[in-house]
Amino acid sequence: GAVVSQHPSWVICKSGTSVKIECRSLDFQATTMFWYRQFPKQSLMLMATSNEGSKATYEQGVEKDKFLINHASLTLSTLTVTSAHPEDSSFYICSARPRGPYNEKLFFGSGTQLSVL
């Protein structure tokens, strides 16, 4: 099956620093990638949708200047949490939609646990 690689798997950083999370589709081209956030024991909440070569579309309530998304190629999207604060601590997970027909499925990365001290 299709593989989405996400790293780092976990990161601990000091308050005020920026953290970059990468999401790569390893064996397919992804026209669209999605970034989700998951708090403990809660569901996944969509943060933003990114299409290759265009600006990301952010969900209501998500600060686009804080969560920078870049989708520079059909296999790579990055999420940068700028000036991270403890309330940004969460599990972040990306998913990718393969290009072409029969692409109902979204394939997920393994997630990144961010802890901001």
Partner 1 sequence: AQKITQTQPGMFVQEKEAVTLDCTYDTSDPSYGLFWYKQPSSGEMIFLIYQGSYDQQNATEGRYSLNFQKARKSANLVISASQLGDSAMYFCAMREDQTGANNLFFGTGTRLTVIP
Residues that bind partner 1 (CB under 8 A): 1, 32, 34, 42-46, 49, 57, 91, 93, 95, 97, 104-111, 113
Residue 14 or 40 having the CB closest to partner 1: 40
Min dist CB 12 to partner 1, Å, is: 16
Task: With beta carbons less than 8 A apart as the criterion, state whether 93 and 111 touch.
Answer: yes
Min dist CB 16 to partner 1, Å, is: 26
Min dist CB 111 to partner 1, Å, is: 4
Residue 42 or 83 having the CB closest to partner 1: 42
Dihedral sign of CA atoms 68, 69, 73, 77 in order: positive
Q: Which long-range contacts (CB under 8 A, 24 or more apart) does 37-41 make?
A: 37/90, 37/91, 37/92, 37/93, 38/90, 38/91, 38/92, 38/93, 38/111, 39/90, 39/91, 40/91
Residue 82 or 108 having the CB closest to partner 1: 108
Residue 17 or 110 having the CB closest to partner 1: 110
Structure tokens that stand for 41 in this block:
């024991």
Min dist CB 18 to partner 1, Å, is: 22
